[in-house]
A and B are shown apart, each in its own frame.
Chain A
Amino acid sequence: MTFDVDYAIRILPTLLNATVVTFQATIWGMTFAVVGGLVLAILRMSRFRPVSATAGFYIEFIRSTPLLTQLFFLFYILPLYGLALSAFVTGVLALGLHYSSYTAEVYRAGITGVPRGQWEAATTLNLGPLQTWRLIILPQAIPPVIPALGNYLVSMFKDTPLLATITVLELLGTALTEAGLSFRYLEPITIVGAIFLALSLPSALLVRGLERRFATR
């Protein structure tokens, strides 16, 4: 079997279009994970034990089960309870939930890195808890963890092909559909690999750059 360049060029536009879906899934999933992870991290650090324990259990639970399982769970089980979301939304939800348990731990590292004296200074200025988080703690906790968040962004991007398993026509799903029609797998799958490589590599370099920038604070 040789690589059929003409065929590859013919399917390229379709696959590039599908890359847009991959992008959208990553961006929405990451938005979810960036916000959800922060909320989880703050709940996890609550002084009210039931809240912190629940958040802690949730984080551990999500981290110790595979993303694919979570994806299937949401896709096949939620509709049984009357919650029928589109495949794309389900996929974004799964990515967001899964990765928010990782970003939560990243944020937590950033938050515990803020010295206790900063909390205490906020108390002497009579700030409330929300003001303390917003004005004092998060502005110091987040910049150092931006590179780690960036790493998860790249990971999530590379996990999006899993959405093909629940019928989302992202890059891999589209490639498989093409392959099913032509019975040629070499070209579609090779292109998928090439596109991922072309996008992941610069992102990884960007994260490296962020690391250097935030390391020297």
Chain B
Amino acid sequence: MTGARSSTPGGVPVPIDMAPTTAAAGVTAVRFRSVHKSFGAVRVLRGIDLEVPTGQRLAIIGPSGSGKTTILRLAMTLERPDSGTIEIEGELLGQKRVGDRLVPDDERHLRQVRGKIGMVFQHFNLFPHMTALQNVMLGPVNALGLTRAEARTRGLELLHVVGLEDKADVHPRKLSGGQQQRVAIARALAMRPRIMLFDEVTSALDPELVGEVLTVIRNLAHETAMTMLIVTHEMKFAADISDRVIFMDEGVIVEDAPSSVLFTNPAHERTRAFLRAVLER
């Protein structure tokens, strides 16, 4: 939980106004219906059915190559399903219905649906030619149409939330991995997503920098009602933060249970073996 001494991210309230909540709690934020995805001959997802209610914190765990990242990338429209559909708050993602056929969505509607989703990557993917603040302001100015002044205010506020307002004018290469990842989280939050996707956001970090990033996400979970899909290898973090866990193996959801159940009393042998293996490490 150390790292950036200048200002620790712990305990800062999160002044994040969520986009207007038209969807009542209990509505499905993300729904996968028999989604299949292959890369060449590799069948990465073999029929995923998944329903994530609004506000849920879903942890996705499983061995390497089981398809966890692919699920998030599909929800972010970075990949397209080979078959099956994905809905975000009841609207088809990347597809539209014409008669009884599904065709690729038009750009305008696609962007409208995609605007509800934010993603944080394992390798941060900050824009190296921009300062931290410029990274955070970019989306609001260019995709949401905020004025620079508005975006700046929002950006500084979010850098404060992640404990980095004093690094606003610093370029990513001058930041530690943990700091870069916190900027990336601020950048995603600046779009006011209703659903956040976290893909192993700490696994590229030195061990001593993991805590500061997890703290930021924990705070987000406490202070907001955002729906979160969290792929992680940090089992303790997953157990703390999530309401529900799915365990994936070889492209299918093997076990789907409340986190209190899955971590203490897994029903499937494969889940048990996986948990044993990761806890031994």
Using a CB–CB cutoff of 8 Å, the interface residues on chain A facing chain B are: 115, 117-118, 120-121, 123-128, 131, 135-136, 139-140
B212 to chain A, nearest CB (A): 21
Interface string of B110-154 (1 = CB under 8 A from A): 010011011101010111110000000011001110000000000
| Complexed CA–CA distance, A180 and B193 (Å) | 76
Could you tell me if B123 and A126 are in contact, using CB atoms closer than 8 angstroms? Answer: no
Q: Does B244 contact A (CB under 8 A)?
A: no
CB contact between B143 and one of A115, A117, A127 (< 8 Å): that residue: A127
20 additional A-B pairs beyond A121-B121, A125-B142, A128-B107, beta carbons within 8 Å, are A120-B121, A121-B127, A123-B76, A123-B78, A123-B114, A124-B76, A124-B118, A124-B188, A125-B187, A125-B191, A126-B111, A126-B114, A126-B115, A126-B139, A126-B144, A127-B139, A127-B143, A131-B142, A131-B143, A135-B142
Using a CB–CB cutoff of 8 Å, the interface residues on chain B facing chain A are: 76-78, 107, 111, 114-115, 117-119, 121, 123, 125-129, 138-139, 142-144, 187-188, 191
| Complexed CA–CA distance, A202 and B169 (Å) | 37
Which residues of A lie under 8 Å from residue B126 when comparing CB positions?
Answer: 121
Which residues of B lie under 8 Å from residue A115 when comparing CB positions?
Answer: 125
Known: A120-B121, A136-B127, A139-B129. A127 touches B76 (CB 8 A): no
| Complexed CA–CA distance, A123 and B118 (Å) | 10
Closest B residue to A143 using CB positions: B129
| Complexed CA–CA distance, A120 and B184 (Å) | 13
Known: A126-B111, A126-B139, A127-B139. A117 touches B123 (CB 8 A): yes
| Complexed CA–CA distance, A117 and B138 (Å) | 16
Most chain B beta-carbon neighbours within 10 Å: one of A118, A126, A127: A126
Could you tell me if B125 and A125 are in contact, using CB atoms closer than 8 angstroms? Answer: no
Most chain B beta-carbon neighbours within 10 Å: one of A121, A127, A131, A136: A121
CB contact between B138 and one of A120, A123, A135, A140 (< 8 Å): that residue: A135
B105 to chain A, nearest CB (A): 14
Those 9 A-B pairs whose CB atoms lie nearest each other, nearest first: A125-B139, A117-B125, A121-B125, A126-B143, A124-B119, A139-B129, A131-B142, A126-B115, A120-B78
| Complexed CA–CA distance, A125 and B126 (Å) | 11
A129 to chain B, nearest CB (A): 9
| Complexed CA–CA distance, A108 and B125 (Å) | 21
Which residues of A lie under 8 Å from residue B144 when comparing CB positions?
Answer: 126
Which residues of B lie under 8 Å from residue A121 when comparing CB positions?
Answer: 121, 125-127
Which residues of B lie under 8 Å from residue A123 when comparing CB positions?
Answer: 76-78, 114
Which residues of B lie under 8 Å from residue A136 when comparing CB positions?
Answer: 127
Which residues of A lie under 8 Å from residue B191 when comparing CB positions?
Answer: 124-126
Could you tell me if B128 and A117 are in contact, using CB atoms closer than 8 angstroms? Answer: no
Which residues of A lie under 8 Å from residue B77 when comparing CB positions?
Answer: 123
| Complexed CA–CA distance, A83 and B34 (Å) | 60
Closest B residue to A131 using CB positions: B142
Closest A residue to B73 using CB positions: A120
Closest B residue to A121 using CB positions: B125
Which residues of A lie under 8 Å from residue B188 when comparing CB positions?
Answer: 124
| Complexed CA–CA distance, A104 and B41 (Å) | 34
Which residues of A lie under 8 Å from residue B78 when comparing CB positions?
Answer: 120, 123
Could you tell me if B142 and A118 are in contact, using CB atoms closer than 8 angstroms? Answer: no
| Complexed CA–CA distance, A123 and B187 (Å) | 13
Closest B residue to A134 using CB positions: B142
A138 to chain B, nearest CB (A): 10
CB contact between A127 and one of B128, B142, B187 (< 8 Å): that residue: B142
